[in-house]
Amino acid sequence: MTLKRPDGPRSSFATRERGAVLVITAIAMMILLGVAALAIDLAIVRDHRATGQRATDAAATAGAVTLLDTNLDVSDACQAAVEYLEQNGVADTFTPPLDCTTFPKVCFNGVTPSVTEVATNSSFEIQITYPVDDADPKMAAPSALGAGPQTINSSDGKPCERFGVSVKSVHGTYFGGAIGFDEIETTVHSVALVNPSALHGRALNLLLLERHDCDTLEASGAGGGIIVGGVLNPVTGLEQPGTLTLDSDGTGSGCNNDGTIDVNGTNALIRADGDPCPFELVAGTGQGCGHIEVFATGGPGCFPPACTSAGIVAPGPEQTPTRLTRASVDWIFDCKAPYPASYDIDPCPRAATSTPYITKLINDVGSSGLPSPAAEWKDYSPTYPCALNGSDVVKVPQGNWRVNCKLSLKGELYFTGGNVVFDDDVVLQADGLLDVNSSNTTLNYFPPSDVLDIGESSATAAFAYFRNGAINKAGQSSIRLTNVLTYFSSTSSIKLGGGSGTVAMLAPTDGPFKNLAMWSDSSTDHDLAGQANIALEGVFFTPVATVNYQGNGGQVQVAAQFVSQKLSVGGNGRLKIKPRADRMVKFPDDSTTTLIR
């Protein structure tokens, strides 16, 4: 029998090898496809992360910037952040929408709990957080790919100064399905820091508005001087450095020899204090650790035309690029548009909806006769005497009074409660006393706090209006104005001589003139001498007048903020200006926000 080899292919090692190559090639192709999928989809993810990061950066910054506006709150900041997310590609349809109304209206570090609001849709989850606590994951977890964890440091500020935004997004893959993943999730976040002073505005102790002259701030005499102390926030217990600012450019005709700041006594000084610093005058005291700011050239340091000194100016003045102007005060208490050209300020941005309180006060009081409505006012004379002798004590019942005669006070005159308009001089001598509103039985200002009704007053809010004449204090006489705005017209003035009597001028704590102790439209010098007992609290606004302080030894401290044309200090006493943060007008801060995460 003959055996014949089959005509078909014979199994062999070579054949098996070719089969293995096909399998390996198929596997390699799968790997290459997977790598391609990863490369392409990861590139897309990186692009999505970059886009998301730009969106959260913009949103967090927008929220923080909104917090700088003292007329807006965190709910406005939240809404601004959401709008910026929408503008930067984050879908704007969320059901339900993000709730911006739950955030705290007031924030205290270490006390106010953090609030996070969340909204989602099919592509995005957005979170807004305020305040941002140290333990918040956004403060530790890196947002950038490959970045290591971040630790809290002093430059990160406090929780109430931080505004956080995060976005989680889900994106479909192009090739990832080939290796088992159809979607990729990314999360990015940003935290913006508001400069602590910018958050609430700049806490200035003293602002001098003169635009061109020198000797705008002058200290002379044997040891006389002006000191601006750190500004205490009674809620937080923290202090901001004392700050004084001059708007003069030092180009006036009298600037040949003197600077806008001039110290011309050997022992005279002008000083701004703060927390202890390397250049403090006395170790551990913070003396000279505040800020002295000038618009004139010559800074940093005490050089003309900004500064001349034969005594002490500490720290050296710093030059600022812009004038602060009177706008911040006008916009609060006399918001209108336009202002006189001499003010050189922009119209109040809320003029369409706000009341110009000072203008309304002037119009309602009028230039003569009883203020309007007349039915709510009474004439002082002849019911009560215009001259009081040493033993006289007159207590005028609560109400609104026009003093229609010149007052000569050697005795005690009490306007127990209410508003008072003075049409002539008030002269205090010997042990004379003028007391206004210290016994008002109406505990709280009745109208809404943003409504001015000159017929209304309370223990917390009243006014004394000097329509004509001057108030002159001499000897041991005293003045007590309790929670009272004192207004001086262009034809009135104030001269407070020294002595052992009391001077107490305390601003209202309620109503449209809250925190405003004095508004003067007079260009006559306002004289303030050293007193044994002096209490000044609130904002003293004398924009076209020079305030003269004559010391009589020792140091007097007042809780006042002065915004004046000029200030001159003489004698051998020192005036320390140390206002409270909650009893002052805040000014714009050049610093704004910083992204810290």
Return the bridge partners of 228, or none. Answer: 272, 577
Q: Which residues of 232-268 are buried (b: 16+ CB within 10 A; e: fewer)?
A: beeebeebbbbbbbbbbbbebeebeebbbbbbbbeeb
pLDDT tops 70 at residue 91: no
Inter-residue contact 531 to 503 (CB < 8 Å): yes
* Confidence grade of residue 1 (pLDDT, cut at 50, 70, 90): very low
Question: CA 270, CA 353: separation in Å to the nearest integer?
Answer: 41
pLDDT tops 80 at residue 31: no
- Region 79-87: mean pLDDT is 87
DSSP string over 498-535: -EEEEEEEE--SSSTTTTEEEEE---S-EEEE-EEEEE
Token digits for 464? 């004394």
Question: Counting beta carbons within 10 angstroms of the beta carbon of residue 1, is it exposed (0 to 12), middle (13 to 18) or buried (19 or more)?
Answer: exposed
Question: CA 29, CA 142: separation in Å to the nearest integer?
Answer: 36
pLDDT tops 50 at residue 56: yes
* Confidence grade of residue 473 (pLDDT, cut at 50, 70, 90): very high
114-152 pLDDT tens trace = 999 999 887 888 999 999 998 998 888 765 555 567 788
Residue 246, helix vs strand vs coil: strand
Instruction: Say if residue 96 is preceded by a cis peptide, omega within 30 of 0.
Output: yes
Q: Three-class SS string for 394-411?
A: EEECCCCEEECCCEEECC
Question: CA 8, CA 12: separation in Å to the nearest integer?
Answer: 12
- Region 440-457: mean pLDDT is 90
The predicted pLDDT at position 198 comes to 46
Token digits for 450? 């943003």
Strands 420-422 and 401-403: parallel
- What phi and psi values does residue 89 have, to the nearest 5 degrees? 95, 0
Q: In which residue are the tokens 């849709």 written? A: 121
Largest CA distance in the chain: 162
For a pLDDT cut of 70, what percent of the chain falls above it?
Answer: 85
pLDDT tops 90 at residue 261: yes
Domain boundaries, the chain: 25-194, 335-564
- Region 515-536: mean pLDDT is 91
Predicted TM-score of the model (pTM): 0.71
Question: CA 414, CA 430: separation in Å to the nearest integer?
Answer: 16
Q: Which of 22-26, 138-142, 426-430, 559-563 has the lowest mean pLDDT?
A: 22-26
- Going by C-alpha positions, the residue among 548, 543, 497 that lies closest to residue 523 is 543
